[in-house]
Structure 1
C-alpha cells in the first residue's frame, strides 16, 4: 500500500453500539443544554478535549496514552475523534458518530476535526484543558473566525445533576460503603497498608461488576494510610505495617462509568489515646455542623465560614488542611473538576436543589505533638428542596472505627 492510499481518517464502526451509562434521552438533553449555551455565545462548533466533558456529552471515556482525543458538537452533529489504536471501541461506547484518525502522518487528528468543523467557524474550546500546542494547531487547521472558551459554562451545566446521574451517584456511594466494610475487616496490627487497600478495592470492583454488568471496569481505587502517612488527603498507599494505637485514614473511591464517589473515615487500631480522641471528636463536630449547613440558598463561602468559626472557637483552625467539600459527577483523581462548587472562602456559588456535594473537614496535627495525624470524615449529600439527603451510610466516629483485633 502506498502512502497516497492511506487515509488521514476514516469511520471504523466495528460492531454495534453497546449499553452506555445513560439513556439516549439523557445524552440528548445534555446536548440540548450545550447547544443552548452555544447559541447564547455564538459558537457554531464546540471542540472538547477533556475526559470529563467528552464523557459527559457522549458517554465515551478515553485513554489518551499520549494521543489527543476530542468531541465535536455542532447544531446537528455529535462526533467523537479517536486514535486508531482503539479501533471500534470509541464508536461502540459513545452516543453519536465517531471518526478514527490514523497515525501515518502528523496532525491527522486535526484533519479529522476539520472534516466536521470546516473553515472559519466560531469555535468553542476548553481553555482550562487545551494546551498551547493544540491551540496553535487548531488555529492553523480550522482558521476560526473566533474562539470562545466554554470551560466555565460547561462546568456550570455539569453542576446540576439529572435524576439519572443522581441514581448512578447513589450506587457509587453504596459501592464506597462496601469497600469501607471490607477495609474494616482487614485492619489489624501487623497488616500492611497495601494489603488493607487491596481488600477494599477488590470488594468494590466485585460489587460494581454485579450491579453494573454492562459497564466497563477501570480506575476504582483505595488510599489507605496509617500513622504519619495520614497527614495528607492524597498520600499514596505504602507497605507500612499497622501498629496498635495507629491513626488510620480509610478512603474508598469506586469509579462507575467515569463517575467517582468517595467514603473517607478516621480509624484507629485497637485503641485511641485521649489527645487523639479529642481532635477526632472536634473534627466530627465540624463534620456534623457542616452537613447541617448544606441547604438551598446558602453559598459555599457561607458554609465555609460556619465551619471555620467552629474550628476557630476550639483553636484548631490553623490545623485545617483544605476546603470542606466539593461537587460530585464526572470526575476522578486524574481528570475533571467542578471547581465552581467547592466549600472554600473564595467560592460564592449558591447551593441549589439537584447539586451533589461532599462534607469532608480535615485537620492535621504535626508529628511530634500529642494526637499527631490527619483526621477526616467524608459524606456525600444531595441538596434537596429544603435541606439535604446524606447517601453515605458507613458509620463515622470512635464507637465504630476503633478497630479491635
Structure 2
C-alpha cells in the first residue's frame, strides 16, 4: 500500500481546482489555508509568523511562496511549478512586498483574483497587509469553500489512508483498555498505550510512514469518572477508580489523514444506571448507522437520532450533534446536524458519535468512522461496541 497521495492525484486536484476557477470566471487565485495548500501540493508545513501562500496564475502555473527556511523543503516535497522565497520575518522588507512582486510577475495585475483569505492570518505574531491593499486587481472574489468542498468526497487512496489510521487507532485503544486499572493516572495509561502503539506502527509500516500530524495515540482527555460528563473535558491527571465511567479517543494520522474511534468504558464494574444510559447511547448510534445512505440529506441522520432520544426521554442530556466529516482535519464539513442539508454521496467519510451526558454519573459516547457507499455505509473502525466488552478488567 502507498502510504501517501500520489503526485498524479495531486496534479489532478490542481487541474480540477483550476477548472472550477474557470467556471466561475476567475483568472487566478491565492490560498493561505495550511490544509488546502497541503491538499493541492503535498507540501506539509507548520504555520508560524512567516507567511506561506499558494497561488495559481492565469497560465495555470502553480507557485508556492515560502520563507527562506522552507525553500529547500518545498522544492523537495511540493508538486508545483515554481517555489519562491523571501528573507526572514520580521525583516527590513515585509514578506508581502516580495509576494506583491511575485504576483505581479505572474500576471495577477488587472485580473479577477480568487482568495480563500484576503491576507495571511497567524496567531503567532504576524502583522501584515491584505492582498487587496497592494495588488491592483480587476476584482477580488472569495473562494473560501472551494477546496474544502473538493475534499468532501474522498478518493480510493484517501479512504485507504483513513483505513490505515483506523487500524493503528484500534491497537492504541486495545492497549488503553488493557492498562485502564484502578490506581493508575490517565497520563500514565495514555502515555504507555500511545507509545507502544506508535512503536508497533513504525516498526510495521517502516520508513514510508509519514504522520503529518500525530502518531498513534489513545487518551481520555480528562473524561474520567464524573468528569466524563463534560463532552470536551481536558486532561486532569486523575487516578482511575473502580466503577469510573471512561470516555476515550484513539487514532493515528497517516499522511495527514485522520480517523476517530471513541468508546465508553467502565473500570472493573458498572452499575445499573451506567448500563441504562450506555444502552440508550448504543441504540442511538445503531439508528444513525441505519440512516446513512447516499442521496439522503445529512440532517436526516440527526432527525432520526433526536427522535429516538426524545422517545427515550433523554433529549435534555444531549449536548452536540451526531457527527461530522473527517479527513485532513479532525472535524470537517458536512455535519450530521439538523441545519445541514448536504446530500450524502459515496466516498464521504463521517464520524458517528451521538452522546448523552449526566452530571455526577458520566458521559456516554461511542464514535466510529464510517464510509458512505453506493448502497449504504461501511464501518471503517472495528473496535467492539457492546456493553460486556467495555468493562476494563
TM over 0.5: yes
> In 2, distance between residues paired with 1:171 and 1:373?
31
| Paired position in structure 2 for 1:306 | 304
Aligned position for 1:70: 53
For 1:179-258, what aligned pairs fall within 5 Å after superposition?
A: 179-209=172-202, 210-211=204-205, 213-217=207-211, 218-220=213-215, 221-224=217-220, 225-258=223-256
Question: What is the CA distance between 1:134 and its match in structure 2?
Answer: 7.6
1:365 lines up with 2:321 in the alignment: no
8 Å Cα contact 2:119-2:129 kept in structure 1:
no
What is the TM-score with the length of structure 2 in the denominator?
A: 0.90
Question: Of 363, 377, 383, which residue of structure 1 is paired with 2:366?
Answer: 377
Match of 1:13 in 2: none
User: Counterparts of 1:90 and 1:26 in 2: how far apart (Å)?
Assistant: 18
| Partner SS state of residue 248, structure 1 | strand
Call closer, same or farther: CA 1:193–1:84 in 2, change over 3 Å. same
Quote the Cα distance in structure 2 between the aligned partners of 1:99 and 1:41: 27
Partner of 2:112: 122
Q: What is the deviation of 1:36?
A: 1.3
8 A contact 1:197–1:237 mirrored in 2: no
Question: Could you tell which deviates more after superposition, 125-134 or 152-161?
Answer: 125-134
Q: What displacement does 1:129 show?
A: 8.6
Question: Deviation string for 1:9-32 (max 9, x for gaps)?
Answer: xxxxxxxxxx98211110111111
Find out whether 1:101 has 2:97 as its counterpart: no
Distance 2:100 2:208 in 1: 30
Provide the C-alpha distance between the structure 2 equivalents of 1:158 and 1:214, rounded to a whole number of angstroms.
Answer: 24
Deviating above 6 A after TM superposition, structure 1's stretches of 4 or more consecutive aligned residues are 132-135
Within-5 A mapping of 1:10-49? 21-49=4-32
Task: Figure out how many residues of one structure are paired with residues of the other and give that number.
Answer: 377
Unaligned runs of 5+ in 2: none
Cα distance in 1 for partners of 2:231, 2:118 equals 24
Q: Secondary structure at the match of 2:263?
A: strand
Contact 2:32 2:117 (8 Å CA) reproduced: no
Q: Deviations over 1:289-328 (max 9, x none)?
A: 1011111111111111000000000011111121111112
Q: In the alignment, which residue of structure 2 is the partner of 1:389? A: 378
TM-score of the pair, normalised by structure 1: 0.87
Question: Aligned partners of 1:33, 1:113: CA distance in 2, in Å?
Answer: 26
Which has the larger displacement, 103-112 or 70-79? 103-112
Residues 139-218 of structure 1 mapped to structure 2, 5 A cutoff: 139-209=132-202, 210-211=204-205, 213-217=207-211, 218=213
Q: Please give the residue correspondences for 1:48-59 in structure 2 after superposition, counting only pairs within 5 Å.
A: 48-59=31-42
Deviations 1:14-69 (A, max 9, x none): xxxxx982111101111111011111112222211112101111111211133221
Match of 2:332 among 330, 338, 341: 338
Deviates more, 1:322-331 or 1:276-285: 322-331
- Which secondary structure state, in structure 1, belongs to the residue aligned with residue 193 of structure 2? helix
Cα RMSD for the two superposed structures: 2.2
What are structure 1's unaligned runs of at least 5 residues? 1-18
Distance 1:141 1:216, change over 3 A: farther
Q: In 1, distance between residues paired with 2:345 and 2:279? A: 30
Distance in 2 between residues matched to 1:250 and 1:175, nearest whole Å? 15
CA apart distance, 1:244? 0.3
Specify the SS of the correspondent of 2:65. strand
Distance in 2 separating the partners of 1:113 and 1:197: 48
Deviation at 1:228, TM superposition (A): 2.6
Whether 1:285 aligns to 2:269 is: no
1:287 Cα deviation after fit: 0.6
Judging changes above 3 Å, is the alpha-carbon distance between structure 1 residues 317 and 107 closer, same or farther for their aligned structure 2 residues?
Answer: same
Q: 1:124 to 1:207 in 2, by over 3 A?
A: farther
Structure 2 CA distance for partners of 1:124 and 1:134, relative to 1, 3 Å: farther
Q: In the aligned structure 2, how far is the partner of 1:106 from the partner of 1:28?
A: 33
